[in-house]
Amino acid sequence: MHFLKHRAARELAASLIRVVKEIEWTMIAKMLQFIGDPTNTFWQHTIDTLKLSIVPIILALLIGLSLGVLVARRPVAAFISANLTGLMRAVPTLAVLFIMILYFNQIGFLPSVVALTVLGIPPILLNTIAGLRGVDPSAIEAGQGMGMTQQQVLFRVQIPLVLPVIAAGVRTASVQIIATVPIAGLIGGGGYGDYILAGINLLNIPQLLVGAVGIALLALLAEFALAALQRAVTPAGLRATEPAAIAPSARRSPVGSLADV
């Protein structure tokens, strides 16, 4: 930082910071102004964005989960469904969007939701299959052998073991879906995509940023919330970070070597 000792350099740096701050604050002020302007119907766009996120997430969850449960124990069916959904996912969402317009013969909400759902199915499906396959069959056999009913095996053994893996799939799918929601703006699906597209076309940077930052914040929010949910449904015995219960293991057993088999 030697050059900062020169007065001229210090002044230059200070004025640079001032300019950047100036632009920033004007930009944020302009964005707030845009949001506050009732003609821009920010609230309606937010609701549309949420609808375009939540509906595909729920649909992807329902389809991915039930398909996963159906095929998990059937290797051929699992292979086909995982690759088929993966293939659909490989087609760019933009293309899917236009295919859906042709299929439904309409624009707007419905084709947007379908295109976004297609995006969300693979992570949930794959994690459901992996989660169900990951359950130790001997744990299930032991449960049955001890006299658990089918329901008890499901609720006490399978679900607690599978839930964290499925939650991870939902987290991935949700963030992907939310990040892709603006694409709906292309076909009149509404939401923040409208701001981004209009912002680009009109070179209205504050408008563009309201849409882009809005989506980014929503995706981050979903990421954090679902990460917390994933932690919450992960039983202590499966967590990577050891709970306090491990502390006594450092001690040797007072009963002696017997237990240290």
Partner 1 sequence: MATIEFVDVTKEYPNAKTPAVDNVSFTVHEGAICMLLGTSGSGKTTLLRMVNRLIDPTSGEIRIDGVPTTQQDPIALRRSIGYVIQQVGLFPHLSIEDNVRVVPSILGKSAAETRDRVDELLHLVGLEPAEYRKRYPRQLSGGQQQRVGLARALAADPAVLLMDEPFGALDAITRARLQDELLNVQRGVRKTILFVTHDVEEAFKLGDQIVVMSEGKLVQEGSPIELLAQPASDFVRQLVGADNILRQFEYQPVTAALEPATDAAQERIAADERLLPALLRLIQMRNGALAVVRDGETLGQVSLASVFASVQSIHRNASAASGEHNRSADSAPVIR
| Binding-site string for partner 1 from residue 165 to residue 184, where x marks contact by CB under 8 A and - marks none | --------------------
The residues in 206-235 that bind partner 1, with binding defined as CB under 8 A, are 235
d(CA 204, CA 37): 15
Contact criterion met (CB below 8 Å) for 163 and 226: no
Alpha helix (H) ranges present in 181-204? 192-201
Name the nearest CA neighbour of 122 among 166, 85, 77: 85
Query: Is residue 133 close enough to count as binding partner 1 by CB under 8 A?
Result: no
Which whole-number Å values give the CA distances from 223 to 27, 166, 206, 227, 247, in the listed order?
27, 15, 25, 6, 31
Please, what is the minimum distance in Å from the beta carbon of residue 136 to partner 1?
7
**Residue from 20, 47, 62, 142 that binds partner 1 (CB under 8 A)?**
142
- Identify residues 66-105 at the interface with partner 1 (CB under 8 A): none
Residue 259 lies near partner 1 (rule: CB under 8 A): yes
Residue with Cβ nearer partner 1 (105 or 151):
151
Residue with Cβ nearer partner 1 (38 or 243): 243
Total residues binding partner 1 (CB under 8 A): 34
The answer to whether 161 and 238 are in contact (CB under 8 A) is yes
Report the residue from 148, 179, 213, 229 that binds partner 1 according to the rule CB under 8 A.
148
Q: Decide: is 138 part of the binding site for partner 1 (CB under 8 A).
A: yes
> What is the 8-class DSSP label of residue 107?
-
Cα dihedral value 228, 234, 237, 238, nearest 10: -100
**DSSP type of residue 156:** I
Q: Does 245 contact partner 1 by CB under 8 A?
A: yes
What residues line the site for partner 1 (CB under 8 A)?
A: 136, 138-149, 152, 156-157, 160-161, 235-238, 245-246, 248-249, 251, 253-255, 258-261
